[in-house]
Structure 1
């Protein structure tokens, strides 16, 4: 992937609905160049699809939190299975550093979020957890 590919992907992340002609104009290359680059990125599997991001319904916005979790190493499989069963857990990442997992969780109320956080902290094999409530979005590059 060269600079042109990176610039193309960046524009698509910002707005995947941009016409090829607009992308070409912004990148200062021919439309056919953008089309062939995009076809190559799709064929290579780097670009796997396009999506729509929906605004959170105003009447019921979700409260999100990041949860830093330290676990006992032998319990990772069991803990991940339990987390998969919790619909409030949107994402789970393994990490390097002082914690083992980084979770993104969401719930419609603070009471429900509190219950989810308590359930995560009470799981067998969880040594500790720390939650960081998301307040406002300052940068959102999608994806």
Structure 2
């Protein structure tokens, strides 16, 4: 990724509804250059979607929790399938260490969170959970600093 790719991505993140012509104008390059770069970045998996970012709190789920799971030996696929069926689970990551999976979970209330955790524990593949409720977001998801520095790392 070069400096133009980095500028393109940072500008697209700052102005998610921007058109290619306006993007080209802001970057000082031809529209065809912008289109080719966007297609290249999409093909390489750098740009993964163009959809809106939706707030879970805005959908009525203001509680954010991180739930660590310990999975029964050899039952990871079964656990992941059970988790896939729980709509309040936004992400699941395989991890190293004493836990096997980390889930990002949202809920309408703490009572609802308890129901979601009970649903997770209903799977025989899940042996144990450890839950932490986020009280605030100090640094929201961001990618811009990484993008800006990525062409400098080489």
Fold in common (TM above 0.5):
yes
Match in the other structure for 1:77:
77
25 and 135 in structure 1: CA distance in 2 versus 1, 3 angstrom threshold: farther
TM-score normalised to structure 1 length: 0.75
Would you say 1:140 and 2:141 are equivalent positions? yes
TM-score normalised to structure 2 length: 0.71
Most deviating of 88-97 and 45-54: 45-54
**Partner of 2:8: helix, strand, or coil?**
helix
Contact 1:13 1:141 survives alignment (8 Å) = no
86 and 43 in structure 1: CA distance in 2 versus 1, 3 angstrom threshold: closer
Structure 2: how far apart are the matches of 1:135 and 1:25? 41
Structure 1: how far apart are the matches of 2:42 and 2:125? 41
Match in the other structure for 1:35:
35
Q: Equivalent residues in 2 for 1:1-143 (5 A)?
A: 1-20=1-20, 23-24=23-24, 27=27, 29-32=28-31, 33-55=33-55, 56-57=57-58, 60-121=60-121, 123-138=123-138, 139-141=140-142
Runs (5+) with no aligned partner, structure 1: none
What is the number of residues matched between the two proteins?
140
Contact 1:68 1:100 survives alignment (8 Å) = yes
89 and 43 in structure 1: CA distance in 2 versus 1, 3 angstrom threshold: closer
135 and 16 in structure 1: CA distance in 2 versus 1, 3 angstrom threshold: same
Contact 1:88 1:105 survives alignment (8 Å) = yes
Contact 2:92 2:102 survives alignment (8 Å) = yes
